[in-house]
């Protein structure tokens, strides 16, 4: 399947772009992270400390074990600082 992967804040800066389209067979978010981290050093660095990374699948907050079946948009970002 083909999904859109989005990055925000320092993850976006470390990876070098705000979004990319990825062809993947990943079953869970964690599988996708492994695939992305293997792409190059920038992805590996941004995704090296998963405790500092939050994830949303189709704009809903979730966790690394969430399934990707049917998902169109996955976003990775640091803990939020709103308010």
Partner 1 sequence: MPARLQAEAFDLATELQGFGSGAGAVVTFSGLVRGEDGRLTGLEIEHYPGMTEKALESYGLEAARRFHLSDWMIIHRHGRLEVGETIMMVATAARHRAAAFEGAEFLMDWLKSRAPFWKREITADGPGQWVEAKDTDEDALSRW
Assess 6 for contact with partner 1 (CB under 8 A). Answer: yes
78 binds partner 1 (CB under 8 A): yes
Q: Which of 2, 65, 70, 81 binds partner 1 (CB under 8 A)?
A: 81
3-state secondary structure 19-72: EEEEECCCCEHHHHHHHHHCCCHHHHHHCCCHHHCEEEECCEEECCCCECCCCC
Distance CA 53, CA 47 (A): 7
According to CB under 8 A, which one of 27, 59, 63, 72 is a site residue for partner 1? 59
The answer to whether residue 30 forms part of the interface with partner 1 (CB under 8 A) is no
Site mask for partner 1 (CB under 8 A), range 39-58, x = bound: -----------------x--
What are the phi and psi torsion angles at 54 (to 5°)?
A: -110, 160
Q: Which residues bind partner 1 (CB under 8 A)?
A: 6, 8-10, 56, 59, 61, 75, 77-83
């Amino acid at each position: 399947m083909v999904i859109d992967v989005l990055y925000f804040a320092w993850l976006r800066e470390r990876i070098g772009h705000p979004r990319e389209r990825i062809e993947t067979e990943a079953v869970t978010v964690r599988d996708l992270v492994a695939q992305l981290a293997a792409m190059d050093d920038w992805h590996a660095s941004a995704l090296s400390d998963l405790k500092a990374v939050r994830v949303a699948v189709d704009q809903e907050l979730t966790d690394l074990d969430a399934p990707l079946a049917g998902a169109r948009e996955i976003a990775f970002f640091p803990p939020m600082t709103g308010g």
